[in-house]
Amino acid sequence: MSDNGLIDSTRLQSPGASRETRALSIVFLASGFSALLYQIVWQRSLFAIYGINIEAVTVVVTAFMVGLGVGSLVGGAVSKDPRRPALALFGAVELAIGLFGVGSLRLFRWAGARTLELPFGATALVTFLVVLVPTLLMGSTLPLLTAHLVRRTGNVGRSLGRLYCVNTLGSALASLASVLVLMRALGQHGVIMVAATSNFVVGAAALVLSYAGRRRAR
């Protein structure tokens, strides 16, 4: 019992639930790692197309922030229904991010070649829309995974804090790795492939864990 007389839900987790929580922590660390790699490479790619100026920087950063924010709201709304398999949805989102990532640089170059002669407003809109789709998906991952862990553990604060911590750690590791090793050794395309592979592994792991959890619940 806790000091206020309530049962500490973290002590009620079965060994299986605890193992799943640890596995999902590793999964979400890898998700944060790949997301930051995308951000670094995509920004460099778009700046190479449109130039580095205050307008281009503003459009790219705004698209990232809006996409992540709106995606978080959408993911939160979707995950409210306990009948929806939040972990499976998270896995599907990760796979979709990986698929977009594989073709992202080609898409950016294609869009850039067709918007260079357009007025700034039209160019900014196209850039915004191109970046918005994957960032919407990225933004939805935290609420989806948090909803799953809350259903398993009954502890909102611990679940959200754990996931936010490991996701941020993954982003920090990606920043170091990209600067010190990856960009020099692999270039933009190689780094994107690393990120996409991480998405595919994360998505597959989430789907496997979701399937195993549903089997245990039967």
Helices (H), the chain: 15-50, 54-79, 86-115, 120-153, 156-177, 183-217
Q: Which of 91, 74, 84, 85 is nearest to 30 (CA)?
A: 91
Contact of 31 with 167, CB cutoff 8 Å: yes
Q: What is the pTM of this model?
A: 0.85
User: Does pLDDT of 16 surpass 70?
Assistant: no
The larger pLDDT score, comparing residue 52 to residue 11, is at: 52
Is 60 a member of any domain? Answer: yes
Q: What does the chain come to in residues?
A: 218
Is 1 a member of any domain? Answer: no
The pLDDT > 70 percentage for the chain reads 91
Residue 164 CA to residue 157 CA, distance in Å, equals 10
Is 40 a member of any domain? Answer: yes
Contact of 135 with 69, CB cutoff 8 Å: no
pLDDT for position 14? 53
Where residue 218 falls among pLDDT bands split at 50, 70, 90? low
Q: Is 78 exposed, middle or buried (0-12, 13-18, 19+ CB in 10 A)?
A: middle
Is 37 a member of any domain? Answer: yes
Query: Which secondary structure element, helix H or strand E, spans residue 52, and what is its range?
Result: none
Is 85 a member of any domain? Answer: yes
User: Does pLDDT of 18 surpass 90?
Assistant: no
Residue 149 CA to residue 39 CA, distance in Å, equals 27
pLDDT in tens, 80-109: 888 889 999 999 999 999 999 999 999 988
Q: What is the CATH number of the domain that holds 48?
A: 1.20.1250.20
Is 132 a member of any domain? Answer: yes
Is 2 a member of any domain? Answer: no
What's the whole-number mean pLDDT along residues 60-69? 87
Is 6 a member of any domain? Answer: no
State in Å, rounded, how far the first CA of the chain is from the last one. 30
Total tally of structural domains belonging to the chain: 1
Parent domain of 66? 17-213
